[in-house]
Amino acid sequence: MAEGARRWRMPMVARDRDEEHRAATPLELLFDLCFVVAVAQAAVSLHHALAENHAAEGVLAYAMVFFAIFWAWMNFTWFASAYDTDDVPYRILTLVQIAGVLVLAAGVPATFEHHNYLLVTIGYAIMRTAMIAQWVRAAIEHPEGRQTALRYAIGIGIVQVGWLVRLALPESIGIAGFAILVVLELLVPVWAERTGGRTTSWHPAHIAERYGLFTIIVLGEVVLASTIAIQTAGTDHGVSSSLLILAGGGLLLIFSMWWAYFKRPAIGGLRLSDGSAFIWGYGHYAIFAAGAALGAGIEVAAETIEHAVPVTDTAAAFAVAVPVAVFLVVTGLLQTRMSSDRPVLLRFCVTAVLVLAAAAVPMSLAVAVLVMGILTTVLISIDVIQAHQTLRRANASSA
């Protein structure tokens, strides 16, 4: 009975930033899983836009929808790292946020097809309202962090009103309104943390794990999308050598992107600098969005090979190459920021340029994707060899 009473409601106080064995909770894993539904909807809609030769409109809608998904996920993740009580009120508010992202996911197709942001905005408002309630509770129950928590609640609330007002704006100025609101969203944590008197006690290892898990889930979406695309094309027309080559190149890209991301852990950099943590956390918008977009690109490539869509080989190749290049460049930038390893950024950027060049060079689409996969594999091989040589030199010096 006492244990049940304790778990019903616990004081929401700051958790220990140096807590040992801090890991993602089952509720956080469910949270991620439901958010991936929205990611999948965004990627599917991007795929349809690319396949119909509406790349510019599709990419813009994708970037806008993905920001809503990413920002709600990121805000909860950092809050949970500092204030997760895992009691009943906390769980209920988290489940409300999950319901909100499912509403958002349901509205994604209308956003792409009709530029109708109503359902997406409603879903986002549900998530943000629950997040405000979490911060208000933290302000009430944790006096030391009250000023910071109230700033978060006020900032999120004001910007959320802006998102609702945006629904009434003409489409001609809706994009400008979106850009302004994004900037305001990005400024809320900076304002709260820098002027609130006490920074939130997020856990570096926990944050690094949470971001890593979401990266794996996003890459998993790429695997699923690629498998379905090749399976569908093979069922309709038989598995051709071009599809097999495309599948091999796609796997090399996915494996290389996974290796590149996890080669250099960010925990050390997160422990040393709160300023770097902002850049690292915000920068993952591009990593997550590019990772999910790769699945759409491979789907378009498979359909182009089978002449199922009116897309040129070059356009389909760039649909694969651009997400890979963005992923590599941003990963290199963030890893350099966290470790000051300048050669990493150079290698990643050179590889990104070569991947884009492979899309532009006249060759079959399947071979182009395979070349991209080989290029990223070479990048990882160089990384592994250099790390091994550095270790050998260090061991020789210590001996």
Sequence-separated contacts (24+) of 138-147 with Cβ below 8 Å: 138/12, 138/79, 138/83, 141/11, 141/12, 141/13, 142/11, 142/12, 142/13, 142/14, 142/83, 144/14, 144/198, 145/14, 145/196, 145/198, 145/200, 145/201, 147/196, 147/197, 147/198
* Confidence (pLDDT) at 237: 64
% of the chain residues with pLDDT over 90: 67
- The residue among 145, 165, 195 that closes a domain is 195
Reported as a pLDDT band with limits 50, 70 and 90, residue 301 is very high
Retrieve residue 260's tokens: 């590149």
Residues across the chain: 399
Residues 126 and 257 grouped into a single domain: no
Average pLDDT for 154-175:
92
Residues 174 and 240 grouped into a single domain: no
Asked if residues 257 and 195 have their Cβ atoms less than 8 Å apart, the reply is no
Any domain includes 125: yes
pLDDT, greater one: 10 or 5: 10
Any domain includes 340: yes
Residues 42 and 72 grouped into a single domain: yes
Any domain includes 15: no
Residues whose CB is less than 8 angstroms from the CB of residue 212 and which lie 6 or more positions away in sequence, other chains included:
261, 262
Reported as a pLDDT band with limits 50, 70 and 90, residue 398 is low
Q: Give the integer Cα–Cα distance in Å for 220 and 205.
A: 22
* Confidence (pLDDT) at 232: 76
Residues 29 and 143 grouped into a single domain: yes
* Confidence (pLDDT) at 2: 47
Residues spanned by the domain of 138: 23-195
Residues 388 and 312 grouped into a single domain: yes
* Confidence (pLDDT) at 187: 96
* Confidence (pLDDT) at 4: 47
CA atoms 196, 267, 222, 300: torsion sign: positive
Average pLDDT for 347-361:
95
Q: Give the integer Cα–Cα distance in Å for 221 and 207.
A: 21
Residues 251 and 284 grouped into a single domain: yes
Average pLDDT for 133-158:
95
Any domain includes 362: yes
Any domain includes 8: no
**Interval 229-274: pLDDT, tens:** 778 766 766 668 888 899 999 999 999 999 999 988 888 778 876 6
CATH number, domain at 308? 1.20.1410
Residues 148 and 214 grouped into a single domain: no
Residues 126 and 156 grouped into a single domain: yes
Torsion of CA 287, 36, 293, 304, to 10 degrees: 160
Residues 135 and 156 grouped into a single domain: yes
Residues 100 and 136 grouped into a single domain: yes
Any domain includes 2: no
Report how many domains make up the chain: 2
Average pLDDT for 148-172:
94
Reported as a pLDDT band with limits 50, 70 and 90, residue 326 is very high
Reported as a pLDDT band with limits 50, 70 and 90, residue 13 is confident
What is 135-186 written as a DSSP string? HHHHHHH-GGGHHHHHHHHHHHHHHHHHHHHHTTS-HHHHHHHHHHHHHHHH
Any domain includes 14: no
Retrieve residue 84's tokens: 């997760």
Average pLDDT for 86-100:
94
**Interval 37-79: pLDDT, tens:** 999 999 999 999 999 999 999 999 999 999 999 999 999 999 9
* Confidence (pLDDT) at 195: 78
Q: Give the integer Cα–Cα distance in Å for 261 and 351.
A: 14
Reported as a pLDDT band with limits 50, 70 and 90, residue 196 is low
- The residue among 177, 195, 213 that closes a domain is 195
| Mean pLDDT, the chain, whole residue set | 89
Residues 316 and 185 grouped into a single domain: no
Any domain includes 11: no
pLDDT at residue 91 tops 60? yes
Residue reference for tokens 């694969």: 320
- The residue among 195, 227, 244 that closes a domain is 195
Tell me the three-class secondary structure of 265-325, residue by residue. CCHHHHHHCHHHHHHHHHHHHHHHHHHHHHHHHHHHHHHHHCCCCCCCHHHHHHHHHHHHH
* Confidence (pLDDT) at 354: 97
Residues 176 and 213 grouped into a single domain: no
